[in-house]
Amino acid sequence: QKEVEQDPGPLSVPEGAIVSLNCTYSNSAFQYFMWYRQYSRKGPELLMYTYSSGNKEDGRFTAQVDKSSKYISLFIRDSQPSDSATYLCAMKTNAGGTSYGKLTFGQGTILTVHP
Amino acid sequence: KAGVTQTPRYLIKTRGQQVTLSCSPISGHRSVSWYQQTPGQGLQFLFEYFSETQRNKGNFPGRFSGRQFSNSRSEMNVSTLELGDSALYLCASSWGQGIMSVYGLRWEKLFFGSGTQLSVL
């Protein structure tokens, strides 16, 4: 079983819809939680990150972490066709000393927002 | 400011050959990490280099190796290619120092390149 599970979708929604993307994890040592967006033929780019349980909002995006349930979510409000991409959750432990480059990713969810 | 540059963008090789991929980090970044992305396994960590030293390593066979030069540019090499090595290889750069959060944890943002798409025939 993978340490991070993410439903690959695909997910198709109409423009303006609220999108909910989710990941579950099994490793209690994960301390950092991130969401990346990856457009076709591009590398992932960081959307949101958080360390703690609770909600974090940035514009149309809200990241939610529930450490007790080992569950994280990303909500996209008023979705736009330009939001069509693959969304990847990623996590990191505090282990590894000064190593900051090792992230554990979910499989990614393919999202299409149609006009 | 230029982003992370990976060359070449596309590569076709045959089984048994070896391949070298290159990554130029953002200016000033001293850490370079490599990832393999496949439809079946997603993104998997290969290794991380900082100041020419390997700082962390993932669970890949010894056929996968890397190095970093004094200008922080990095290369990864795959020897004796197998069909299963077909993937998008991504590198990410960062400062390598970490930023202390209010919770006493260190973290830093990774900046990814667009990757090298390797096809093994």
pLDDT at A113 over 70: yes
pLDDT digit string, tens, across residues A13-22? 999 999 999 9
Distance from CA of A109 to the nearest CA of B (A): 11
**pLDDT tens digit string along B8-52?**
999 999 999 999 999 999 999 999 999 999 998 999 999 999 999
Model confidence over B75-120: pLDDT tens digits?
A: 999 999 999 999 999 999 998 887 776 666 677 899 999 999 999 9
Q: Give phi and psi for A52, each to the nearest 5.
A: -120, 165
B contacts of A46 (beta carbons < 8 Å): 109-110
Instruction: Pick left, alpha or beta for residue A8 (phi over 0 → left; psi -120 to 50 → alpha; otherwise beta).
Output: alpha
DSSP state of A51: S
Q: Which residue of B has its CA nearest to A35?
A: B109
Does the distance separating the beta carbons of B55 and A98 come in below 8 Å? yes
Residue in the block written with tokens 């400062």: B95
Identify any residues that bridge with A46 across adjacent strands, giving them in sequence order: A36
Q: Which chain A residue is nearest to residue B50, measuring alpha carbons?
A: A99
Distance CA A4, CA A12 (A): 23
pLDDT band at A8 (very low <50, low <70, confident <90, very high): confident
Is the pLDDT reported for residue A4 higher than 80? yes
Query: How far apart are the C-alpha atoms of B23 and A40, rounded to whole Å?
Result: 20
pLDDT recorded at residue A51: 84
The band of A101, judged by pLDDT with boundaries at 50, 70 and 90, is: confident
